[in-house]
Amino acid sequence: MNNVPPNNIVQSNEIIELLKNPEAIAFLEKHRDESPEHLALKYSGSTDFNLTKLTQILQLYRKAEQKIPEWVASHCALDAKSYAQCTHSAVAQFNASLFQGTNALDMTSGLGVDAYFFAKRFEHITCLESNKTTIDYAQFNAQRLGVSNIDFLHTTAEEFSLEHAYDLIYLDPDRRPGTDHQVKQIESYSPNIFELQESLLSCAKHVLVKLSPMVDLRYLENHLHHLVAIYVVSYRNEVKEILVHQSKHAAEANSTERIAVDLGPNQTEILRRSQMQPAKPRRYLSQSRYLIEPSRAIIKSGMSPLFAQSLSLGFLSDNCHYYFNEVLLEHAFVRQFEVIDKMDVSWKKIKKRLKEQDISAINIAQRNFHLDVRGIRNKLKIAEGGTDFLFFSLDRDGKSACYHAIPVSAKAP
């Protein structure tokens, strides 16, 4: 979603005309794997199209081919800011899979990534976008992608008149309104979801809001109305977004459902808080054969203790997301490590132990520890890398502990 003119390289009509040029597209495809800087020098003055602009497009495509591959493959129009703020295509596809119906309203269109996938689930999509350059790109991209059931309107969410009923209203508020830096307060997002929520809920069966992974979930639960669920959506164990579902039509529940989602190339894993029940009272272990770390989606969703307790894992402490188990788990939402050694946090002794094992580079992680990873690495004077890990934390009694471990398969053999 774009609310200010992006610091893009050219005007929208120039980019679009360039991407309509068969000669420019042929050049782009032929030299896709070459350095844009090298191309700009080698072919300067020898093309009938603007080579500088095309090489800048190529730079963006290089960044975008993992995030929005369909847009790169179809030679869609992008600019730096709208690309940076657009939804990962795998995440957008998941978001759209949650709903279907007759008509949907996307109040923060951006490049149209979310609308493209919603268009597969709804008969008609109306998209709002405040930035003229971005909406020109979105309209051009829809044509390139073969989508015909989207109407794009050049307006803001605040100015748009909600005169019709919708099956779904979707928002991805701008986290950089008027700046290149993300703002921390949700109230500073544009549009302000707290001010709009009642009007949106009055004319939509469902409201879906995409927010930064950094937002406080308890704050959302305390300030948003008619909450149905909060999704923590990750891609390959990297949290990409918080997705908030609101509806006046949903059955009343005692608490908002929290749902952890991990998307991968071949499958989607989903775990709901309501699915988990503590198997037994908490047990505490300072060491066992395997160190278990829940996925980032589980941790961000606040479900880590319940998750561990439901699997009867041993807690290192109440304030740590490291757990222990005697056997490997058959569970998608964990990383598992075989513990080689437990050491007291004596920097001199740890360095000596690593030297004895001829380890010159190692991965370092910490939770609930008094030093961050950089501080630990400075103490140990060791490079990052290799396959081994050092985990630092505090046990139940507040004593520092270090675990030397190696990763194992997330699936038991």
Helix/strand/coil for 174: strand
Q: Are the CB atoms for 97 and 42 separated by under 8 Å?
A: no
**Residue 267: per-residue pLDDT:** 87
Whole-angstrom distance, CA of residue 104 vs CA of residue 126: 6
Q: How confident is the model at residue 9 (pLDDT cuts 50, 70, 90)?
A: very low
Phi then psi dihedrals of residue 104, to 5 deg: -135, 155
**Predicted confidence (pLDDT) per residue in 141-188, tens digit:** 999 999 999 999 999 999 999 989 999 999 999 876 655 555 567 887
Angle at 248 between CA 247 and CA 249, to 5 degrees: 90
**Residue 175: per-residue pLDDT:** 76
**Predicted confidence (pLDDT) per residue in 24-57, tens digit:** 999 999 998 899 899 999 999 899 999 999 999 9
Asked if pLDDT for residue 8 goes beyond 50, the answer is no
Average model confidence (pLDDT) for the chain?
91
For the ranges 68-72, 83-87, 321-325, 364-368, which has the lowest average pLDDT?
Answer: 83-87
pLDDT (mean) for 285-289: 95
Output the CA–CA distances (angstroms, integers) from residue 260 to 33, 93, 229, 232, in the order listed. Answer: 37, 16, 11, 5
Q: How many C-beta atoms surround the C-beta of residue 195 within 10 A? A: 10
**Would you put residue 40 in left (φ > 0), alpha (ψ -120 to 50) or beta?**
alpha
The model's pTM is 0.90
- Pairing between strand 389-394 and 363-366? parallel
Asked if pLDDT for residue 10 goes beyond 50, the answer is no
Q: How confident is the model at residue 5 (pLDDT cuts 50, 70, 90)?
A: very low
**Which has the closest alpha carbon to 224: 282, 163, 171?**
171
Sheet containing 389-394: order of strands: 283-284, 314-315, 323-325, 290-294, 334-343, 400-408, 389-394, 363-366
Maximum alpha-carbon separation in the chain: 74
Asked if pLDDT for residue 251 goes beyond 70, the answer is no
**Predicted confidence (pLDDT) per residue in 320-362, tens digit:** 999 999 999 999 999 999 999 999 999 999 999 999 999 999 9
pLDDT (mean) for 7-28: 82
CA atoms within 13 A on the CB side of 92: 24
For the ranges 59-73, 191-205, 243-257, 285-299, which has the lowest average pLDDT?
Answer: 243-257
Asked if pLDDT for residue 21 goes beyond 80, the answer is yes
**Residue 190: per-residue pLDDT:** 85
pLDDT (mean) for 308-325: 95
**Predicted confidence (pLDDT) per residue in 211-247, tens digit:** 999 999 999 999 999 999 999 999 999 999 999 999 9
Residue with tokens 């005697």: 326
**Residue 186: per-residue pLDDT:** 84
Residues of the chain with pLDDT > 90, as a percent, come to: 82
Distance of CA 131 to the CA centre of its chain: 24
**Residue 178: per-residue pLDDT:** 58
Asked if pLDDT for residue 133 goes beyond 60, the answer is yes
Asked if pLDDT for residue 261 goes beyond 90, the answer is yes
